[in-house]
Amino acid sequence: MFGSIRISSRIASVLLFTLISVIIPLKAMANYTQTQHPIVLVHGLFGFDSIVGVDYFYRIPEELRRGGARVYVAQVSAANSTEVRGEQLARQVEDILAATGASKVNLMGHSHGGPTIRYVAAVYPHMVASASSVAGVNWGAPMADVLQGVSDHIPLSSSVIAGLGNSFAGFINLISGGGQQQNVNAALRSLTTAETLRFNNDYPEGMPTSYCGNGAAVGPNGVRYYSWSGGRTLTNVLDVTDPFLAAVSVVFLGEKNDGLVSSCSSRLGHVIRDDYRMNHLDEVNHVLGLRHIFETSPVTVFRQQANRLRNAGL
Ligand code: CA
């Protein structure tokens, strides 16, 4: 009889251990990304809302939702200035707040989406808890300077520049299915260094005051600013976009970059990292999840950021 009691107590111990070691962490994982405020993802990369015909943020909204977040994917114009895109985003944020009853949102923007969310945070801070910039074009994109013919610091011959233009057009056609060149030219104008510096002067919140410096983690508007970025171009031999990103990255003259944005240009607020082994498409888990096999998954980086916001009560 005492033996069976001992066995029962052992079984009870095992059950208790199982409960503590498996079920409780699983429960914690289940709300790992459960932020207080909804998350709004904002596309960039010169404005396309999809890449090779699939979602721009590949498998990212789904995984954030699985951890308990309410996630919305904004659709803003491809062809407009940061301010126009920002106003479009602000209207969508108003709709999201009305639909959810939430008081604020957590914005996450990639590429041109970085300045776009900064605009909304600056002009409508009462609607924004945080702004996370992913490879944001916060201090210009040299490729935009070159293709707009306003670069005065990149010593390249006209034939090299023409070649770069072709590589860039090929890249855009490859990911977008073609027909977007007009949009690209319009978007490029707002991504030149001069134009982003003008924008930073008007909307300085979270920005470093010098190139590659550190900005305030919390702006005077009460919004928390974060950023991360990759610093590689060739990351996966199976990804057909990698050679294009490597080709156009020559405009950085050796400076660390992800193919289209330098690590230094991406910096905003609390810099989580600016040197992931990711290129400009890896950062949004493209193409179709092809990325450096020894680097943290881009999806995990988004999940970690949602968890960071959750732990900050945002
Ligand atoms: Ca890739």
Token pair recorded at residue 161: 């520049």
The predicted model scores a pTM of: 0.89
303 within some domain: yes
15 within some domain: no
36 within some domain: yes
12 within some domain: no
DSSP string, 10-68: HHHHHHHHHIIIIIHHHHHHHTTT--SSPEEEE--GGG-SEETTEESSTTHHHHHHHTT
Q: How far is CA 37 from CA 69, 132, 224, 258, 314, in A?
A: 8, 14, 13, 30, 6
pLDDT digits (tens), the chain, 314 positions: 555 666 677 777 766 766 666 665 565 577 999 999 999 999 986 556 677 778 899 999 999 999 999 999 998 887 678 998 999 999 999 999 999 999 999 999 999 999 999 999 999 999 999 999 999 999 999 989 988 888 777 778 888 888 888 888 788 777 776 655 656 777 788 899 999 999 999 999 999 999 999 999 999 999 999 999 999 999 999 999 999 999 999 999 999 999 999 999 999 999 999 999 999 999 999 999 999 999 999 999 999 999 999 999 99
Active site residues: 111, 258, 280
22 within some domain: no
CA of 128 to the centre of ligand 1 (A): 30
CA of 311 to the centre of ligand 1 (A): 30
Q: Which domain holds residue 271?
A: 31-311
**CA-angle at 246, arms to 245 and 250, nearest 5°:** 110
Between CA 27 and CA 37 the distance in angstroms is 20
Give the pLDDT score at 116: 96
β-strand 71-73 against 270-276: which pairing, if any? unpaired
**123: domain CATH number?**
3.40.50.1820
CA of 57 to the centre of ligand 1 (A): 12
CA of 288 to the centre of ligand 1 (A): 8
CA of 229 to the centre of ligand 1 (A): 14
CA of 249 to the centre of ligand 1 (A): 15
2 within some domain: no
82 within some domain: yes
Token pair recorded at residue 232: 């590689």
- Which one, of 42, 44, 295, 40, lies nearest residue 175 by Cα? 44
Domain count, the chain: 1
CA of 62 to the centre of ligand 1 (A): 19
CA of 116 to the centre of ligand 1 (A): 24
3 within some domain: no
